């Protein structure tokens, strides 16, 4: 009887432990979500005081290339000294240690080997832990994971080292994710999106960073404008939409480029109308019960030749791919 009671008590204890663990996970998940909704992982103050010189000057990888950063160096080492499996990890660390001893003094070699061990073990743990894998590809979920992963690195490596190693990469990805959340927000109009993008850039980057950002082409900026104003355009009449798109083009393109875009628009419209008329004629052939399958195929082939001319063969190939895909 006592034995049975012990089993019951142990079972209750295990159940309570599972509940407590799930409650804690939901709590930490909620805190992380709240954090990324109201704060940045890295704002414009980064790198700021994070100016740790992890690598001695002139450091090169075993293949002779110069790494762009300490993170590039560590990733290069993990590739160029890669073992066959995780069981070869100590052998890998010995080979890396030997390489450090061959290019650095004893103090730097020891310091970097300790750091490299922590770095690689941390990345292996992240890679093998299912909680750090995205189950949903939406940017908000990935942003949450980005914060959780960097928090984990800070715990394992120390905040300064983790941020010095990964900060720039994480910041660039955070900016891209936050930017995409604004661009594709379904309930925001274009003006609101433009203002939020402006505020995001000012919050995450210093003026000198903004001025040195890689420039986009005029066509990229035009495409972005149409994405930002997708809700506005969807609510306009056909005539209003065309006028607005013409205004967008005037904002980004010279007259000659606008004329070329209008030619492309006209060609696409002609092709669209041609396809509509072809589909209607095709349906009539397929619905004709007096024709055999062979006769229908022959008529459809002749119809394609008539409608698409020199592009008929390419059209048939696309049709075959579509049919074979099961759609």
DSSP string, 65-105: PPPSSHHHHHHHHHHHT--SSGGGHHHHHHHHHHHHHHHS-
- b (16+ CB within 10 A) / e for 136-152: eeebeebbbbbbbbbbb
pLDDT in tens, 105-128: 999 999 999 999 999 999 999 999
Nearest Cα to 77, choosing from 123, 29, 11, 19? 123
Q: In the structure, what pLDDT confidence band is assigned to residue 236 with cuts at 50, 70 and 90?
A: very high
Of 24-33, 68-77, 95-104, 233-242, minimum mean pLDDT range: 24-33
- Looking at per-residue pLDDT, the higher value among 4 and 162 belongs to 162
Quickly state the pLDDT bin for 30 (edges 50, 70, 90).
Answer: low
**Integer Cα distance of 100 and 190 in angstroms:** 54
- Give the pLDDT confidence of 246-258 residue by residue, as tens digits: 999 999 999 999 9
Quick one: average pLDDT of 10-27? 44
For 129-186, what is each residue's pLDDT tens digit? 988 887 777 899 999 999 999 999 999 999 999 999 999 999 999 999 999 999 999 9
If you search the block for the tokens 């049919």, which residue do you land on? 323
User: What pLDDT score was predicted for residue 122?
Assistant: 96
The alpha carbon of 257 is separated from its chain's Cα centroid by a whole number of angstroms, namely: 31
CB atoms within 10 A of CB 187: 6
| Of 207-211, 303-307, 313-317, minimum mean pLDDT range | 207-211
Lowest mean pLDDT among 139-148, 211-220, 298-307, 310-319: 211-220
Query: Does residue 16 register a pLDDT over 70?
Result: no
Q: What is the pTM of this model?
A: 0.76
Structure tokens at 296: 């229908």
What is the per-residue pLDDT across 275-284, written as a single tens digit (0 to 9) for each? Answer: 999 999 999 9
Q: Rounded CA gap, 324 and 307, in Å?
A: 23
**pLDDT tens digit sequence for 57-104:** 889 999 999 998 999 999 999 999 987 777 789 999 999 999 999 999
Q: What is the pLDDT of residue 106?
A: 95
- Residue 84 Ramachandran class (φ > 0 left, ψ -120 to 50 alpha, else beta): alpha
The whole-number average pLDDT for the span 279-300 is: 94
User: Per residue in 52-65, pLDDT tens?
Assistant: 678 888 899 999 99
Q: Answer whether residue 25 shows pLDDT above 80.
A: no
* Res 11 pLDDT > 50: no
Q: To the nearest whole percent, how much of the chain has pLDDT over 90?
A: 70
Mean pLDDT computed over 295-324:
92
pLDDT of residue 287: 94
Residue 117: predicted pLDDT: 96
The burial class, CB within 10 Å (0-12 / 13-18 / 19+), for 267 is: exposed
| The two structure tokens encoding residue 109 | 């070699």
Going by pLDDT thresholds of 50, 70 and 90, the confidence category of residue 28 is low
Average pLDDT, the chain: 86
Exposure on the CB side of residue 297, measured as CA atoms within 13 A: 4
Task: Summarize the confidence of residues 276-293 as an average pLDDT.
Answer: 94
Q: What are the sequence ranges of the domains in the chain? A: 1-39, 42-187, 255-324
**Alpha helices by DSSP H, the chain:** 2-38, 70-80, 89-103, 106-128, 139-157, 159-183, 190-204, 207-212, 218-228, 230-234, 238-252, 255-287, 293-308, 312-324
Is residue 13 predicted with pLDDT exceeding 70? no
Taking CB atoms within 8 Å and a gap of at least 24, the contacts of 25-30 are 29/144
Tell me if 180 sits within 8 A of 139, measured CB to CB: yes
Distance between CA 54 and CA 111 in Å, rounded? 9
């Amino acid at each position: 009887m006592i034995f049975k009671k012990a089993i019951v008590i142990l079972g209750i204890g295990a159940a309570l432990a599972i509940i407590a663990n799930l409650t804690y996970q939901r709590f930490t998940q909620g805190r992380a979500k709240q954090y990324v909704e109201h704060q940045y992982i890295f704002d414009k103050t980064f790198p700021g005081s994070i100016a740790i010189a992890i690598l001695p000057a002139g450091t090169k990888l075993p293949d002779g290339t110069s790494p762009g950063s300490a993170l590039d160096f560590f990733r290069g080492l993990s590739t160029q000294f890669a073992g066959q499996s995780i069981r070869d990890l100590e052998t890998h660390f010995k080979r890396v240690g030997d390489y450090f001893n061959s290019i650095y003094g004893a103090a730097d070699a020891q310091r970097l080997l300790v750091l490299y061990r922590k770095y690689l073990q941390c990345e292996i743990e992240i890679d093998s832990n299912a909680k750090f894998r995205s189950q949903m590809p939406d940017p908000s979920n990935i942003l949450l994971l980005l914060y959780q992963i960097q928090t984990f690195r800070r715990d394992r490596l120390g905040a300064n080292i983790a941020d010095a190693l990964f900060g720039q990469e994480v910041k660039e990805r955070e900016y891209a994710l936050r930017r995409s959340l604004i661009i594709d927000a379904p309930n925001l109009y274009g003006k609101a999106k433009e203002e939020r993008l402006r505020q995001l850039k000012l919050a995450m980057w210093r003026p000198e960073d903004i001025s040195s950002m890689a420039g986009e082409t005029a066509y990229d900026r035009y495409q972005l404008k149409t994405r930002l104003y997708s809700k506005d355009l969807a609510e306009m009449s056909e005539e209003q939409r065309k006028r607005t798109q013409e205004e967008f083009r005037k904002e980004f393109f010279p007259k000659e480029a606008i004329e070329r875009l209008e030619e492309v628009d006209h060609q696409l419209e002609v092709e669209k109308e041609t396809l509509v008329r072809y589909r209607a004629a095709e349906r009539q052939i397929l619905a004709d019960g007096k024709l055999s399958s062979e006769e229908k195929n022959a008529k459809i082939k002749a119809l394609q030749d008539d409608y698409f001319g020199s592009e008929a063969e390419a059209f048939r190939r696309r049709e075959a791919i579509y049919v074979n895909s099961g759609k």
